Amino acid sequence: MTKTADIRRLKEALWGDVRHVLLDMDGTLLDRYFDDYFWEHLVPEKYAEKHDITFGRAKEELLKKYKVHEGTLNWTDIDFWSRELDLDIPALKEQIRHLIEVHPHVEDFLCALKDADKKVVLVTNAHYKTLKIKMRKTQIGRYFDRVITSSEIGCPKEETAFWQRVERILRFDKERTVFIDDVKENLEAAGEFGIRYLVLKTMASSKETEPAGNGGGFLAVSDFKQLLPRHR
Ligand SMILES: [Mg+2]
């Protein structure tokens, strides 16, 4: 089966039978460049100043710390990082909020979903403080029927338990649900739980070049334009 045929089938379902559309925020709807710049550049810079070490050394130390908490709720908890690194993480995020950008055609896609009367839910590992900064800057909050964060659920999207709990809240039909995310582990967990339509969003950061290879078994989409109904 060719990719074009797969996308066509997905679109038929999406604009037809599908009831719930679950969307990740960072890297999927919003440019992950903000987050990459934040953790890989701004935080190391401030950490280096604080400890009077070089930027390179700071980055090395931080990458080790990041690694320990990857895929856990700590990773997404910016209050945890404020304590761990003795830096005011929310204030630093505010400092570069001009870098928060919505990916191309996301608003067209969200508008089309609302027009088609779909239940649109933002499903994110982001901390509520980060979420607030991003919603204020982008104004996309109005498109969602509900926002679900992993801290509210008690575990991150990488875990199947997350999806069991989300299902209890939303009462979605797995067979009529689409989930789009830029992280394969999240799609795998949702797939294990049984969500039928899973889409990998590539080009998570605007600084990335077109990804090589395939979507690792998932249907991959690089621009929401590819999912818009024909009349848009
Ligand atoms: Mg993401």
Predicted confidence pLDDT, tens digits, the chain (232 residues): 568 899 999 999 999 999 999 999 999 999 999 999 999 999 999 999 999 999 999 999 999 999 999 888 899 899 999 999 999 999 999 999 999 999 999 999 999 999 999 999 999 999 999 999 999 999 999 999 999 999 999 999 999 999 999 999 999 999 999 999 999 999 999 999 999 999 999 999 999 876 655 677 899 999 999 999 976 5
Q: Which of 6, 17, 181, 223 is catalytic?
A: 17
Task: Clarify whether residues 94 and 135 are in a common domain.
Answer: no
Q: Does 39 reside within a domain?
A: yes
Distance from Cα 115 to the centre of ligand 1, integer Å:
25
Say if pTM beats, i.e. exceeds, 0.85.
Answer: yes
Contact 128, 141 (CB under 8 A): no
Q: How close is the Cα of 189 to the center of ligand 1, in Å?
A: 14
From ligand 1's centre to the CA of 199, what distance in Å? 12
Which one of 80, 98, 116 terminates a domain? Answer: 98
Domain housing 67: 34-98
Q: Do 149 and 193 fall into the same domain? A: yes
User: Residue 152's closest CA among 165, 135, 143, 168?
Assistant: 165
Q: What is the CA radius of gyration of the chain?
A: 18
Q: Are residues 93 and 151 in the same domain?
A: no
Residue 17 bears catalytic tag: yes
Q: Does residue 30 contact residue 134 with C-beta atoms inside 8 Å? A: yes
Give distance in angstroms: CA of 93 to centre of ligand 1.
Answer: 17
